[in-house]
Structure 1
Amino acid sequence: MKNLLQTVSLAVMFSLVGCASLPNVPAQEGSAQTSATTGHELVAGARGTRLFQQWWRPEGQPPRAVVVVVHGLKDHGSRYEELARRLVARNFAVYAMDLRGHAHSEGPRVDVGTFNDYIEDLDAVIKRVREREPGLPVFLFGHSMGGMIVTRYTLEHPSELAGLITHAPALKVDVPGIQVASIKFVSALNPNAGLFQLDLDDYSRDPQVVSAAKADPLIHQPAAPVHTARELLRAIERTNAQMEDITLPVLMLHGTADKLTSAEGSKELYRRARSTDKTLKLYPGLYHDLVHEPEKETVLNDITAWLEARAPGAAALAK
């Protein structure tokens, strides 16, 4: 997480609250046009915060399993439509939430009270998904900070999931200890005073992806307050102490040239997780946003193949 946390400046952040209305969500440019039933709704998360979630379901046949997608910091669920449609073509239902303080969900922009709010929010979303898709196995997919969120959720709710996919997860801080200490110090004095930004040029080696991210108003939001970084650091510390408790099937994906999160975190999770079904995929030279890299076909195929090998067939579910 070299650049994710190291750019910290002292300033004051204005608290901007999202409207959490139900917008028209257009298909992302360049997304696959696989036939799918789509929709969106608001779900009540921790302390009543309204969370936006959308879905893609196979048209005309029952899904074999559900994949819940959790995006990262300053990101949103609509950016995973190509992945969703790829999975819908293989009879998976896909649900993608917007984290609190992001995109169409309520909450101060890119701000979180405690990291546990994210866990409670995800729990509310999964409960709603189970109401909509009763009896289906649920897999989690988390990108970057979302990768940390789904990992922590797995540690707290291990028996409720069929499997876990971490996509460039924020599991390791690759910054000097003095910078980590300064984040904690500043956040203790004034939680809203310190700000940090992400360098969107580090998302992908595809210039069109970077340009689209820079032009996307749902990504181009205010800088995050330092206490959000503090909460992420605390979650990383807790997770590093519990990696051995991961026992369910897990697929770990990371680019070796990732400048925002360290691939060493994925390597350590692979070494320490006690799961008997664990797979680590390292992609030489790839940046942070693997499913939006020039080599995305390889990554998408790896994700699809892993899920297909672990989900029941739709025919078996229909009996």
Structure 2
Amino acid sequence: MEQENPVRHETEVHFWGNTPEDEYYKQQGIKASRSSYTSPRGLSLFTRSWLPVSTDPPLGVMCMVHGYGNDISWTFQSTAIFLAQMGFACFGLDIEGHASPKGFDGAVLVAPMCKISDNIKPRWPIPDILLFVAKFMPTLAIVPAASILHKSIKVESKVPIAEMNPVRYRGKPRLGTVVELLRVTDCLSQNLRSVTIPFIVLHGSMDVVTDPKVSESLYEEASSEDKTIKIYDGMLHSLLFGETDENIEIVRHDILSWLNGRCRHENVEN
């Protein structure tokens, strides 16, 4: 069930400045809307869409999933807006948990967390202690963890923009969240061979938040016949916002080339 134009935490400032959303989207040459979706568990999930203004069919449909430290209403929008300008229909939601690729024709994986980097993973015996305590107090926010914001963003002037996000979680990770991240990423890292869909995985070589070596393992072990990997020398975790504008354009170009090479082919066949 969807509800159009739901009430949400509104702020006068967006990551692009004070320009109202509708006016900014018009300036960017796209259409955008927001709504809410009630999940089977009864939770109201906030959703957004970013669409080309053209009445022609879109080149493809992009189902966009944000990461653990992000949401769909701040800097995440910059990539969705770019893809809508390029002819793709983009959709995203503030997720409750994590997504599954079942039923998708392909995937663009940007610095994916197939495994928690050893550089930020709690050392033994902390994981065992967390697992035990989480059984009784899963919402307790006491997990020791360094801030990943400065580790993710290379351009220092962009850090304050990311910090201004009004809905960004600033507390310590909750026990239940950390336990699930450890469990799921451990499962993912052991089942890379089961990946069969076409994909491109993009990672910065200097990423210390998610491990580029695991992306390399995904590329090597996945059963997909159509797979591509891009490792960007010297780049950090936030490839689509935190890098220099020149680097962001390189990553965007690689994503767009990969999408166009497949979506245009599919459209011709159909």
**TM-score under structure 2 length normalisation:** 0.82
- 1:34-73 alignment to 2 at 5 Å? 34-61=28-55, 62-73=57-68
Residue equivalent to 1:210: 159
Matched, 1:164 2:107: yes
1:98-109 equivalences under 5 Å are 98-100=94-96
Structure 2 partner of 1:251: 200
Q: Report SS of the residue matched to 2:178.
A: helix
The 2-side partners of 1:177 and 1:272 are apart by 28
Structure 1 counterpart of 2:3? none
Counterpart of 1:226 in structure 2: which amino acid? L
Alignment counterpart, residue 125 of structure 2, candidates 178, 182, 200: 178
Residue 315 of structure 1: how far off its partner (Å): 6.9
Give how far 1:241 is off. 2.7
| Cα distance between partner residues in 2 of 1:309 and 1:266 | 22
Question: Which residues of structure 2 form unaligned runs of 5+?
Answer: 1-5, 18-23
CA contact (8 A) 1:186 1:194 kept: no
Alpha-carbon distance in structure 2 between the residues aligned to 1:192 and 1:315: 47
In structure 2, relative to structure 1, the CA distance for the partners of 1:56 and 1:68 (3 Å cut) is same
Structure 1 residue 89, shift from structure 2 partner: 2.2
Runs of 4+, deviation exceeding 6 Å = none
Question: Which residue type is aligned with residue 239 of structure 2?
Answer: L
**Shift in Å at residue 190 of structure 1?**
2.4
What does the per-residue CA deviation read over 1:192-245, in whole Å, with 9 as the maximum and x for residues that have no partner?
234345331112111122111122222144333111010111111222232111
Identity %: 26
Alignment of 1:142-153 (within 5 A): 149-150=98-99, 153=100
> Contact 1:187–1:194 at 8 Å: present in 2 too?
no
Alignment of 1:189-204 (within 5 A): 189-196=136-143, 197=145, 198-204=147-153
Unmatched 5+ stretches in structure 1: 1-19, 101-117, 119-148
Question: Which one-letter code corresponds to 2:105 in the other structure?
Answer: A
Q: In angstroms, what is the RMSD of aligned CA positions? A: 2.5
1:88 and 2:98 are equivalent in the alignment: no
Deviates more, 1:233-242 or 1:182-191: 182-191
Structure-to-structure mapping, 1:13-32, within 5 angstroms: 21-22=7-8, 28-29=15-16
Match of 2:263 in 1: 311
The worse-fitting range, judged by mean Cα deviation, of 307-316 and 50-59 is: 307-316
Of Structure 1 and Structure 2, which has the larger fraction of its residues in helix? 1
Q: Does 1:74 align with 2:21?
A: no
* SS of corresponding position for 1:224: coil
8 A contact 2:58–2:89 mirrored in 1: yes
8 Å CA contact 1:254, 1:263 repeated in 2: yes
- CA 1:27–1:60: 2 relative to 1, 3 Å: farther
Match of residue 175, structure 2, among 219, 226, 229:
226
SS at match of 1:82: helix
Structure 1 window deviating more from structure 2 (61-70 vs 186-195): it is 186-195
Give TM-score, length-normalised by structure 1: 0.70
In structure 2, the CA distance between the partners of 1:241 and 1:220, relative to structure 1 (3 Å rule), is closer
Question: Do the aligned residues in 2 keep the contact of 1:42 with 1:50 (CA within 8 Å)?
Answer: yes
Q: What secondary structure is seen at the aligned counterpart in 1 of 2:41?
A: helix
Q: Deviations over 1:129-187 (max 9, x none)?
A: xxxxxxxxxxxxxxxxxxxx34xx12xx2xx1110111111112313443332332332
What are the superposed Cα offsets for residues 5-56 of structure 1, whole Å, 9 maximum, x if unpaired?
Answer: xxxxxxxxxxxxxxx7346687641889531111000011240111111111
Partner of 1:298: 250
Q: Which residue in the other structure is 2:227 paired with?
A: 278
RCO (CA 8 Å, sep 6+): is it higher in 1 or 2? Answer: 1
Distance 2:225 2:267 in 1: 27
Deviates more, 1:211-220 or 1:161-170: 211-220
Q: Deviations over 1:238-258 (max 9, x none)?
A: 222321111111111111111
